[in-house]
Amino acid sequence: MKGVWFTMESMIACIIIGMFVIFVSTGYVIEFQYVDASEMAYDILKGLEDRDVLRGYAIALDYEGLGSEIDITGYNHTVNICNSAGSCVGPEPDAADVWVGSYLIAGQSVYQPLEVKLFVWELS
Amino acid sequence: MVTIARTKKQRKKGQFFILGAILICSLFFIGLPRFTPLIKQPSSDLPYISSNLQSELPNALNIGLNGSAMLDTMTNFSHFLETKLRGRKINYTSLWLVMHNQSSGVNVTGGNFLGEEITISINITDGSGSTVESLIIPKGTNNSTLFSSVENTYNITIAFSDQEESESYPRDKVSLYAFYRLTRSNDVIKNHIFA
């Protein structure tokens, strides 16, 4: 009779470990913890582009003007505008856990490729 | 009494397995935040970069046409995208073809940024029949071919590697076909643009 109990308890232990392994291997744990604000940042830039707001500010390298068009509840943000050589204008984000979304443009009436970066971070 | 006490002690053995299992799981979850970089996370930025390219490649063509520098603009923009995306550990490879009216025909100009020489089979079909041309473009360069007589509306089929796409265009419109591939380790997005 003792052996039966030991066997049952061992099986319960195996089931617990097995369920845990399946739980982890399916990636459920990681997805649950994964919050990506970079897509939100992209969506905001895309929204500005769809409203014909983004490109004008970007070409003028007006990162402050572009930043003033953005308001994200619960988040702080800053905008950088970078040229093809990699030099950027705009303040560096001053926070930990910063997400960045970017939008690439070829120019407006003339070829002037730029990358508009929107850094977002949660308000503490 | 001694016998009973020993039996109870022995029955605890199985329960230790359960406690051990719970302990192993708990230790993993306690340690998980320290080791999250070791666990692969899905690349969430590739889809939105692809969405960005879908709208911006046609824009680049329009800017190039406005400045009468279509070839240079498309080539430079391809290099710009390669450089910017490489900074995010994304390998960007692309092929684009621009179709435009030339006399009573259609000129097809292509730029190959797929990283290897490519042979493209271009089949233009209109009311009077079908013409097939092969366009060979070495990597990182441009090349063009002329379909000398094409009716006002035509159907074009573009085939290369394992890709084949068709679309109808009016001859007088400058049209774009682009194929691009965004790759980061095992994550790949391939897409076509007709504009």
The pLDDT tens digits of the residues spanning B74-116 come to 999 999 999 999 988 999 999 999 999 988 889 999 999 999 9
- Residue B160: per-residue pLDDT: 92
The CATH number assigned to the domain holding B171 equals: 2.60.40
Residue B160 lies in domain: 45-194
What's the whole-number average pLDDT of chain B?
Answer: 85
Q: Which residues contact B175 (CB under 8 A, 6 or more apart)?
A: B98, B99, B100, B167, B169, B194, B195
Question: Does residue B21 share a domain with residue B62?
Answer: no
Q: Is B9 in the same domain as B90? A: no
pLDDT higher than threshold 90 for residue B156: yes
A63 touching chain B per CB within 8 A: no
Q: Which residue has the higher pLDDT, B28 or B126?
A: B126
Q: By the 8 A CB rule, do B118 and B145 touch?
A: no
Residues in chain A closer than 8 A to B7 (CB atoms): 2
User: For chain B, how many structural domains are there in total?
Assistant: 2
Enclosing domain of residue A15? 2-32
Same domain, A79 and A91: yes
Region B23-44: mean pLDDT is 61
How confident is residue B6, by pLDDT bands cut at 50, 70 and 90? low
Q: What percent of chain B has pLDDT over 90?
A: 56
Mean pLDDT of each 10-residue bin along chain A, 124 residues long = 76 83 66 65 92 94 93 91 92 86 92 94 83
**Burial code of A63-97, b = ≥16 C-beta within 10 A, e = fewer?**
beebbeebebeebebbbbbbebeeebebeebeeee
Tell me how far the alpha carbon of residue A43 is from its chain's centroid. 10
Report d(CA A85, CA B134) in Å as an integer.
Answer: 36
Residue A1 pLDDT: 66
- Does B91 share its domain with B22? no
Q: What is the arithmetic mean of pLDDT over B18-30?
A: 79
DSSP single-letter state for residue A50: H
Q: Looking at the structure, do residues A18 and A59 belong to the same domain, yes or no?
A: no
Question: Domain check: are B29 and B51 in the same one?
Answer: no
For residues B90 and B184, the answer to whether their CB atoms sit within 8 Å is: yes
Do residue A61 and residue A98 come from a single domain? yes
**Shortest CA gap A73–chain B (Å):** 22
**Count of the separate structural domains present in chain A:** 2
**Is residue B39 predicted with pLDDT exceeding 50?**
no
Q: What is the ipTM of this complex?
A: 0.73
- Do B147 and B103 lie in one domain? The reply is yes
> A113, B59: Cβ pair inside 8 Å?
no
Identify whether residues A26 and A78 lie together within a single domain: no
DSSP B1: -
CA B97 – CA B103 distance, rounded (Å): 19
Quote the tokens at residue B130: 């079908």
Percent of chain A whose predicted confidence (pLDDT) is above 70: 90
The answer to whether residues A63 and A88 belong to one domain is yes
Chain B residues closer than 8 Å to A30 by CB: 36, 39-41
pLDDT of residue B42: 43
A81 and A97 co-located in one domain: yes
Does residue B103 come out as left (phi exceeding 0), alpha (psi in the -120 to 50 range) or beta? left
Indicate if the pLDDT at residue B7 is higher than 60.
Answer: no
User: What's the pLDDT score for residue B103?
Assistant: 85
Taking CA atoms, A61 is separated from A72, A114, A115, A117, in Å, by 22, 9, 11, 12
Residues of B in contact with A24 (CB under 8 A): 28
**Cβ separation of B63 and A10 shorter than 8 Å?**
no
Q: Are residues B24 and B85 in the same domain?
A: no
- The verdict on A99 and A41 lying in the same domain is yes
Residues A26, A63 within the same domain? no
- A16 & A68 share domain: no
What confidence score (pLDDT) does residue A124 get? Answer: 74
- Minimum Cα–Cα distance from B57: chain A residue: A106
Q: Burial-class residue B31 by CB neighbours within 10 Å (0-12, 13-18, 19+).
A: exposed
Q: What is the pTM of this model?
A: 0.74
Q: Which residues of B touch A17 (CB under 8 A)?
A: 21, 24-25
Question: Do A21 and A63 fall within a single domain?
Answer: no
What are the pLDDT digits (tens) for B66-76? 877 889 999 99
Distances (CA, A) of B49 to A35, A46, B103, B184: 18, 11, 38, 12
pLDDT score of A11: 84
